[in-house]
Amino acid sequence: MMDNSGKREIIKEKLEKIAEKLSKSGIEVYNARDQPSYLYDETPPTLGVKAAENVLIVKPKSTHEISQILKLAGEQKIPVFPRGGGTGLSGGAVPTSDGIVLSTEKLKWIEIDVENFCAVCGAGITLRELISEAEKNGLSFPPHPGDESATVGGMIATNAGGVRAMKYGVMRNYVLGLEAVLASGDVIRLGGKLIKNNAGYNLMHLLIGSEGTLAVVSEAIIRLLPPFKRTATVAIPFESIEGAIEAVVEILKDGIIPLALEYVERKALEIGEKVSGKRWPPKDEANLMVIVDGRDEDEVVSMAERIEEICLKKGAKNAYIAMGAKEQRDLLEVRSLIYEGMKDLVVEVLDVSVPPAKIPEYIKRCNSEAEKMGFQIVNYGHAGDGNIHQHPLKVEDWESKYPKLKKTFFRIAKELGGSITGEHGVGIVKKSDLKEQVSEVEYELMRRVKQAFDPEGILNPGKIVD
């Protein structure tokens, strides 16, 4: 039997031959030693996701080039790891075994179809570019999953969410069509500029959220909406999380669907204030940030005032309504920079999703378990849709204590009818937890789907399922 070093030598030789062939075909190929930033994404290093050593970076410029790469890799049974902006938080884009990182950064075409309210774009178009092109054409792309250097392909592959999912949904709600390259190198085109399409099993929705394990997305048709006209941001401090979440339920019952409905703890706001240099209006232990959008100032003012009224009835002492663009931007900046300020202090960013009304119970039970194990947790997140970001801070011996804490949180989430990930995906960091989240039957179906799309297991191996 060949030992590991023998196997790795063979892969190394195969990679050299692939590099030579691809270069001859005019495809850009690099050695990861010269471009090490392609080996990692934004997953906290504390989670110990390790990139392999023998890695090629390829940068195809067209669907045809992706197909050539996958055909060659398939023939040689070499793993291929699709990569977008590398902003993922679950290690999805990290090449965890020797192989090829397929970067989509050169897939940069975009065309806006104003009449059909959509963009047809290459997978490498970033969120920033998509928003800007949509706005130039008098339209908008509402979802906003945090980091604007995320790509269309990456957002589709992770079914990204973000603060606006509350009103405008997640990435899945914006994908009308996809072009994707299978592990065999075959190109498939799914959906189209269509709102309705019931022709057979929906393979397009199977690819959305598949984290690069079923196919490489090369192009997408993305739904756009008319532009936002006016917004108002309301900041409301509460003494307790119960009051804050009861107010969330009341706001929704009242028929207001905010653009964003965020819950933020005092500790988190203080960190955001420090990084941004901006001040949050009066804050308390549990704070809501509610953004509403509407046709004109009258509409957003009336919604903001109604939210204030509801929150005061639910125990808030006051509320701060920001109407000016700068004031609103400042509040958003404090909220957006919280993670930046905590990056070096946290073990992981969890993104559990629970039924929204269960948020107080979930957070309280988790905090109590964390305290018993000597951890402190900073919480904030998307209260309107039940997706909470928990940040366990590093403590002495966190390495040995943390796995148990994470398992406990996931167990509590499951007991409350929740999911281990509402946004960031399974990748490699939640792979073993997925088995405990879903039934055996469901897990086996997932494995068979993987096998049907990628029988040799070359696409992003080691992620989601084996």
Ligand X SMILES: Cc1cc2nc3c(=O)[nH]c(=O)nc-3n(C[C@H](O)[C@H](O)[C@H](O)COP(=O)(O)OP(=O)(O)OC[C@H]3O[C@@H](n4cnc5c(N)ncnc54)[C@H](O)[C@@H]3O)c2cc1C
Nearest C-alpha neighbor of 211 from the set 177, 171, 176: 171
CA distances from 277 to 63, 213, 274, 430 (A): 44, 41, 5, 35
Give residue 359's Cα distance to chain centre: 20
Q: Could you tell me which of 391, 365, 362 has the C-alpha nearest to residue 379?
A: 391
| Residue choice 56, 72, 73, 160 for contact with ligand X (CB under 6 A) | 160
Q: Scanning the structure block, which residue is given the tokens 């800007």? A: 132
- C-beta of 460: minimal distance to ligand X in Å? 5
Interface with ligand X includes 104 (CB under 6 A)?
yes
3-state SS, 406-429, equals HHHHHHHHHHCCCECECCCCCCCC
Which segment (47-55, 139-147, 297-305, 370-378) binds ligand X by CB under 6 A? 139-147
Q: Does 99 bind ligand X (CB under 6 A)?
A: no
- How many residues make contact with ligand X (CB under 6 A)? 37
Contact with ligand X (CB under 6 A) among 14, 59, 83, 406: 83
Q: Does 246 bind ligand X (CB under 6 A)?
A: no
Interface residues for ligand X in 316-345 (CB under 6 A)? 339
Q: Which residue, 209 or 392, has its beta carbon nearer to ligand X?
A: 209
The correct pick among 123, 291, 377, 420 for binding ligand X (CB under 6 A) is: 123
- In angstroms, what CA-CA distances link 105 with 61, 101, 122, 130? 8, 12, 9, 14
264 binds ligand X (CB under 6 A): no
Q: Which of residues 13-32 bind ligand X (CB under 6 A)?
A: none
> Does 392 help bind ligand X (rule: CB under 6 A)?
no
Least distance CB 297 / ligand X (angstroms): 28
Smallest Cα–Cα separation from 300: which of 314, 317, 321, 283?
321
Cα torsion 163, 212, 180, 130 to 10°: value is 30
DSSP state of 455: T
Which strands, in side-by-side order, build the sheet including 118-122? 110-113, 118-122, 216-223, 175-181, 187-191
Out of 68, 87, 287, 379, the only residue in the binding site for ligand X (CB under 6 A) is: 87
Binder to ligand X among 155, 241, 342, 346 (CB under 6 A)?
155
**Residue 122 binds ligand X, judged by CB under 6 A:** no
Instruction: Give the residues lining the site for ligand X (CB under 6 A).
Output: 41-42, 81-89, 92-93, 104, 123, 145-147, 150-151, 153-155, 157-158, 160-162, 211-212, 216-217, 339, 423-424, 427, 460
